[in-house]
Chains A and B, each alone.
Chain A
Amino acid sequence: MQDFGSAFTLAFQLVLNADADLIEIILLSLKVSLTAVLLSALIGLPLGALLATARFPGRQFCLLLVNALMGLPPVVVGLMVYLMLSNAGPLGWLRLLYSPAAMIIAQTILITPIIAALTAQVISDYEREYRELFRSMGLGLRQRILTLLFDARYSLMTVSLAGFGRAVAEVGAVMIVGGNIDHLTRVMTTSIALETSKGDLALALALGVVLMSLALLVNALVMTTRLTAKRMAHD
């Protein structure tokens, strides 16, 4: 096992030299998590807006369910997706297990409830403010939802970034359904887990540095988005 100091030195060398393995892992992580966020946003944003805007029997239960699903343990999601996609599972014929597609599915299931629940919270506040105006204008449900999603765009960007932060840092689900196969399904978090267990701290630390930088970048983007919204008086 390397000592801490040399591991750090090696890690920064890997980052600075843009090591091919490191870049491959980072790009796959970004591809998987960004695709998952995009899919989750496509499902979660309208779903959250619908739950905040429409009035129907069982709405409170749906909100409770979505909020409860925010805390889904990643390994349980991984296990569920594994069971669905394994050869004996109902979707085994798709042959997606141990592929980036399986990892995208798992992350999408994991973060869709987060995006939907946070969207419902954000849109509820906007809806309360706009309710009488919408009634006065005689808007239908679709028009109300589209208007609210557009007007809450800055807050919803923050919501999506929060979803991305959760997806890219997640390890349990992608480990189970991706299998951490070198050059195929190895992403930052699974690499860190593997290299640490092997005692090769340099690559693990290098990926850790990149992951931390990404977390910082995401937070900076969230802050910038909020400040932009305030400056534009849209918040």
Chain B
Amino acid sequence: MTEAAVRLADIGGCAAVAPLLSARGLRFSAGGQTLIRDLDLHFSNHGISVVMGPNGAGKSVLLRLLHGVLKADAGEVHYAGRVLDEETRRREQAMVFQRPVLLRRSVEANINYVLKLHGKADAGRCQALLEQVGLAAKLRQPARALSGGEQQRLAFARALAAEPRLLFLDEPTANLDPNASAMLEDLMLGAAADGIKLICVSHDAGQARRLATEVVFIHRGEVLAQQSADAFFDRPADPRIEDYLSGRLVL
């Protein structure tokens, strides 16, 4: 267990459980298909919640609905007890995408862009963030010339530059090799240990075991389970989850 994981386990043991984020009656359709069906979910204010499910289950759509970058057909998302609005999202939340969307600027300029946006432009802060993700030596390089793993770590650092209370991650390691994935997982554990709530979509059961304090399993736009990670892997709430975890076809 890494140091960050130990600190995270400590936080998990003593933190309050008031929901930070709640979805109530969320529904979303696209292309004549209902992708999210009257979904209710509550996320506590600590730890890492991993959203799992088979392809096409609606995981990425759910993440975008929760973050508010996609508008639901029905239902509401509440953040810290209030309906989520744009200003709250800008101030309190950030998102890391599966394919990092980096600005066509230097590594340093990508971080400074967000720092300026939040009125926190500061060379020291930029340097500290880049050191945190191991990119301090590359601050003047064009961001898009970095390797895939480095680009995703830069996207992560840029998200942290906003000092979010809640960080969404949409399969952040899906395109990375095991080494780059491990580095990003350490950063995620570190961020969670620092008190940032993480909600992460992942296909990878191994990754969920390493990271999750709780797992949300969705299938065809419905929640089949929201359990603590230990309970999820020991006693899944639905037989279809057992099928999924053992590699059998989930229909």
- Please report A residues at the B interface, Cβ cutoff 8 Å: 129-130, 132-133, 135-139, 143, 147, 150-152, 232-235
CB–CB A234/B142 < 8 A: yes
Q: Which residues of A contact B104 (CB under 8 A)?
A: 151-152, 233-235
Is B145 touching A133 in the complex (CB atoms < 8 A)? no
Which residue from chain B places its CB closest to the CB of A155 in the assembled complex?
Answer: B104
- Whether B144 lies near A138 (C-beta < 8 A) is no
B74 within 8 A of partner (CB): no
A-side contacts of B113, CB under 8 Å:
147
Q: Which 5 A-B pairs have the closest CB atoms?
A: A138-B90, A233-B145, A234-B104, A135-B69, A233-B144
Indicate whether A129 sits within 8 Å of B142 (C-beta atoms), given known contacts A138-B86, A138-B89: no
Q: Check B103 against A132 for contact (C-beta < 8 Å).
A: no
| B residues 65-122 in Cβ contact with A at 8 Å | 67, 69, 86-87, 89-90, 93-95, 97, 101, 103-105, 113-114, 117
Nearest-Cβ distance from residue A1 to partner chain B, whole angstroms = 55
Most central of A135, A138, A151 by chain B CB within 10 Å: A138
Counted as pairs of residues, one from A and one from B, with CB atoms less than 8 Å apart, the total is: 47
Q: What range describes how many residues of B lie at the interface?
A: 20 to 34
Mark interface residues in B52-65 (1 if CB within 8 Å of A CB, else 0). 00000000000010
Q: Which secondary structure characterizes the binding site on chain A? A: helix
Contact A147 B101 (CB under 8 A): no
A150–B113 alpha-carbon span in the complex (Å) = 12
Closest to B142 in A: A233
Residue of A nearest to B67 (CB): A136
Q: Which of B69, B89, B93, B94 contacts A132 (CB 8 A)?
A: B69
26 pairs from A and B in contact (CB 8 Å cutoff): A129-B101, A130-B101, A130-B103, A132-B69, A132-B97, A132-B101, A133-B101, A135-B69, A136-B67, A136-B89, A136-B93, A136-B94, A136-B95, A137-B94, A138-B86, A138-B89, A138-B90, A139-B117, A151-B104, A151-B105, A152-B104, A232-B142, A232-B145, A234-B105, A234-B142, A234-B144
Given A132-B97, A233-B144; A138-B67 close (CB under 8 Å) = no
Known: A232-B142, A234-B142. A147 touches B94 (CB 8 A): no
Across the interface, which residues of A come within 8 angstroms of B105, CB to CB? 150-151, 234
Residues of chain A with a CB closer than 8 A to B64's CB: 132
Q: What residues on B are CB-neighbors of A132 within 8 Å?
A: 64, 69, 95, 97, 101
| Shortest Cβ distance from A235 into B: residue | B104
Which residues does chain B contribute within 8 Å of A232, judged by CB atoms? 142, 145
| Residues 167-210 of B at the A interface (beta carbon under 8 Å) | none
**Bound: A55/B64 CA distance, A:** 21
A135 to B117, CA, bound (A): 13
Q: How far is A132 from B71 in the complex, measured between Cα atoms in Å?
A: 12
- Given contacts A136-B94, A233-B144, whether A151 and B69 have CB atoms under 8 Å apart is no
Q: How far is the CA of A136 from the CA of B97 in the complex (A)?
A: 10
Q: Which residue of A lies closest to B103 (CB)?
A: A151
CA of A167 to CA of B37 in the docked complex: distance in angstroms? 57
Q: Is the CB of B97 within 8 A of A137?
A: no
| Least CB distance, B21 to chain A, in whole angstroms | 15
A40 to B60 alpha-carbon distance, docked (Å):
42
Question: What separation, in Å, do the CA atoms of A234 and B97 have in the docked complex?
Answer: 19
- Give every chain B residue within 8 A of A129 (Cβ-Cβ): 101
List residues of chain B with CB within 8 A of the CB of A130: 101, 103
* A147 surroundings in chain B (CB, below 8 A): 103, 113
Write out the residue numbers on chain B whose beta carbons fall within 8 Å of the beta carbon of A139. Answer: 117
Interface 1/0 per residue, B140-169 and A, CB below 8 Å:
001111000000000000000010000000
Q: What separation, in Å, do the CA atoms of A137 and B168 have in the docked complex? A: 12
Could you tell me if B142 and A137 are in contact, using CB atoms closer than 8 angstroms? no
Contacts of A150 in B (CB 8 A): 105
Residues of A within 8 A of B142 (CB): 232-234
Query: Which residues of B lie under 8 Å from residue A136 when comparing CB positions?
Result: 67, 69, 89, 93-95
